[in-house]
């Protein structure tokens, strides 16, 4: 009998009689491994009531008390690394080393949240006039709704929520229904770290839960990571219900390679950044843009054997470079995108369709696929393909490469490989992307810098992590105060705009 995965509310598992549920699969085998509870508006309402009550007390706790929990969570993450990597791999499909890499970045985000007392400080000015002092302070916004994707079951929740908790908020979290077990493990670690019951809650489910979060008057803010279509919906509906919303969405990341670059290094970087985690990353390099015919031909020769050498296998295969895509529907969508690119005139250089992994005939596997001569009118340029299909475009000049990159509706990450400082500087100044790499294939910022794209890669004025995340999870209060001496004369009546200055 398959396992049943519940919600987590008020510090313990929570289930509802005769509630809805959905299947959870192991992508490496295609087998259903468990059933996951699907919450309702009533589930979310219960979680918000619990979170609001617990959050009021947590928001009044001292910085020292809150930081003790964050420090302990970091220790527990490290101690449970192997367990968490196994859970991620089993439900997502990414390899164990890839899962541990994700967890490393999650821990980095938790470490930055240990700086919450510093980055959440207010401001102070003495005697602005008339012996009045003015100071500001940041206070938690209250209950935060978090909606996270399947592709980073622990990293995105950790970097998204740890700072929110560290500055005094409580959480109602809807993880992806494809990877629900990691959410319960993360909730368990929070409880073990000493977080008071009710501050951190998990409501499993689908769109009904999303809508309940967006509509609930008790939720002050919503943070989301996922596809652009869903992110735009969440932003519009959430703000319509008077919530602050930060939605981090799709990416179509371009890698420009100049003729003077180290082409061997660039080829390895493209393959590594393009195909890791079966290309199911919003920061993955999608399109390779070698500048000039000679650069394109040489780079193509270097890239093809590296791609053909990639090994695809189950998540626990010690020698696999990447695993399956997350679902049968994802595999079908990627195969459909390959067929579409062929119809549109793309040159299929490496074909990953029809891959068979010995012993796993029903897994959701796709071999690495590469197209050449991709143009801006093709689907492979226009849309984010969340699977191992990458493309080569052929700009003749640096200016054309910049124009192709900036023409796209997304602006998540863009990178350049070059030895020329002037080209790199121009790229940094002119490219309309939120995260830029110079000889760095995946420009994912360290946790103490802000993460977020531009254009339709982000909705709302917020960042997923970094110092600016504190602004999103707090509200400013500004206080003007004056303490007159006991024997001071009474203040006279004055109708002037600023009588105290």
Contact 239, 221 (CB under 8 A): no
Q: Which of 36, 146, 282, 341 is catalytic?
A: 282
Q: Which fold has domain 253-438?
A: Aldehyde Dehydrogenase; Chain A, domain 2 (3.40.309)
The radius of gyration of the chain's CA atoms, rounded to the nearest angstrom, is: 25
pTM: 0.93
CATH 3.40.309.10 residue ranges of the chain are 253-438
Contact 106, 185 (CB under 8 A): no
Phi-psi region of 455 (alpha: psi -120 to 50; beta: other; left: phi over 0): left
Q: How confident is the model at residue 1 (pLDDT cuts 50, 70, 90)?
A: very low
What gap in Å lies between CA 288 and CA 291, rounded to an integer?
Answer: 10
Tokens standing for 21?
A: 């549920």
- Asked about 282 being catalytic, the answer comes back as yes
pLDDT above 90 for 240: yes
Q: Cα–Cα–Cα angle for 494, 498, 501, nearest 5°?
A: 105
Question: Dihedral, CA atoms, 283, 288, 289, 294, nearest 10 degrees?
Answer: 150
Q: How confident is the model at residue 443 (pLDDT cuts 50, 70, 90)?
A: confident
What gap in Å lies between CA 68 and CA 149, rounded to an integer?
Answer: 28
pLDDT tens across 124-162, in order?
A: 999 998 889 999 999 999 999 999 999 999 999 999 999
Average pLDDT for residues 170-191, to the nearest whole number?
A: 97
Tokens standing for 351?
A: 């074909």
pLDDT tens across 261-316, in order?
A: 999 999 999 999 999 999 999 889 999 999 999 999 999 999 999 999 999 999 99
pLDDT tens across 415-432, in order?
A: 999 999 999 999 999 999
Q: Which fold has domain 3-249+457-479?
A: Aldehyde Dehydrogenase; Chain A, domain 1 (3.40.605)
Containing 338, the helix (H) or strand (E) segment is helix 328-343
Residues β-bridged to residue 174: 147
How many residues does the structure list for the chain? Answer: 501
Q: How confident is the model at residue 385 (pLDDT cuts 50, 70, 90)?
A: very high
Residues β-bridged to residue 438: 416
3-state SS, one letter per residue, for 218-270: CEEEEEEECCHHHHHHHHHHHHHCCCEEEEECCCCEEEEECCCCCHHHHHHHH
Question: Dihedral, CA atoms, 236, 242, 246, 249, nearest 10 degrees?
Answer: -10
Whose CA is closest to 270, among 441, 431, 403? 441
CATH 3.40.605.10 residue ranges of the chain are 3-249+457-479
């Amino acid at each position: 009998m398959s396992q049943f995965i519940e919600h987590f509310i008020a510090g313990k598992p929570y289930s509802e009689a005769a509630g809805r549920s959905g299947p959870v699969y192991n992508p490496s085998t295609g087998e259903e491994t468990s059933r996951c509870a699907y919450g309702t508006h009533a589930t979310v309402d219960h979680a918000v009531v619990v979170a609001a009550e617990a959050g009021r007390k947590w928001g009044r706790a001292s910085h020292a008390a809150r930081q003790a929990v964050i420090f302990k969570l970091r220790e527990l993450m490290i101690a449970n690394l192997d367990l968490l990597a196994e859970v991620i791999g089993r439900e997502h499909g990414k390899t164990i080393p890839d899962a541990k890499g994700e967890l490393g970045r999650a821990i980095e985000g938790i470490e930055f949240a240990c700086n919450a007392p510093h980055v959440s400080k207010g401001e102070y000015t003495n005697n602005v006039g008339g012996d009045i002092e003015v100071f500001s302070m940041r206070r938690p916004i209250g209950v935060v709704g978090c909606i996270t994707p399947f592709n980073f079951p622990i990293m995105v929740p950790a970097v998204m929520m740890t700072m929110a908790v560290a500055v005094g908020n409580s959480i109602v979290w809807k993880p992806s229904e494809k990877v629900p077990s990691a959410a319960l493990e993360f909730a368990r670690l929070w409880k073990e770290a000493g977080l008071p019951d009710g501050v951190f809650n998990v409501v499993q489910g689908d769109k009904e839960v999303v809508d309940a979060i967006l509509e609930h008057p008790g939720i002050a803010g919503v943070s989301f990571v996922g596809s652009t279509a869903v992110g735009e919906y969440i932003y519009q509906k959430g703000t319509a219900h008077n919530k602050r919303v930060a939605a981090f969405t799709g990416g179509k990341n371009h890698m420009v390679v100049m003729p003077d670059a180290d082409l061997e290094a660039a080829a390895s970087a493209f393959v590594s950044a393009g195909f890791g985690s079966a290309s199911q990353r919003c920061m993955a390099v999608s399109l390779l843009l070698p500048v000039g015919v000679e650069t394109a031909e040489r780079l193509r020769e270097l890239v093809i054997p590296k791609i053909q050498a990639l090994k695809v296998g189950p998540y626990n295969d010690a020698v696999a470079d990447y695993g399956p895509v997350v679902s049968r529907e994802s595999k079908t969508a990627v195969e459909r995108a390959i067929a579409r690119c062929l119809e549109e005139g793309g040159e299929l250089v490496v074909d990953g369709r029809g891959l068979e992994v010995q012993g796993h005939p029903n897994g959701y596997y796709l071999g690495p696929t590469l197209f050449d001569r991709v143009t801006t009118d093709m689907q492979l340029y226009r849309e984010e393909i969340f699977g191992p299909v990458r493309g080569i475009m052929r700009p003749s000049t640096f200016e054309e490469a910049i124009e192709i990159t900036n023409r796209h509706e997304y602006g998540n990450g863009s990178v350049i490989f070059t030895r020329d400082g002037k080209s790199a500087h121009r790229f940094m100044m002119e490219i309309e992307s939120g995260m830029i790499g110079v000889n760095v294939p995946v420009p994912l910022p360290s946790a103490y810098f802000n993460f977020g794209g531009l254009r339709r890669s982000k909705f709302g004025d917020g960042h997923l992590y970094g110092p600016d995340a504190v602004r999103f999870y707090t509200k400013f209060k500004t206080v003007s105060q004056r303490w007159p001496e006991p024997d001071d004369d009474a203040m006279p009546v004055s109708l002037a705009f600023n009588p105290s200055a």
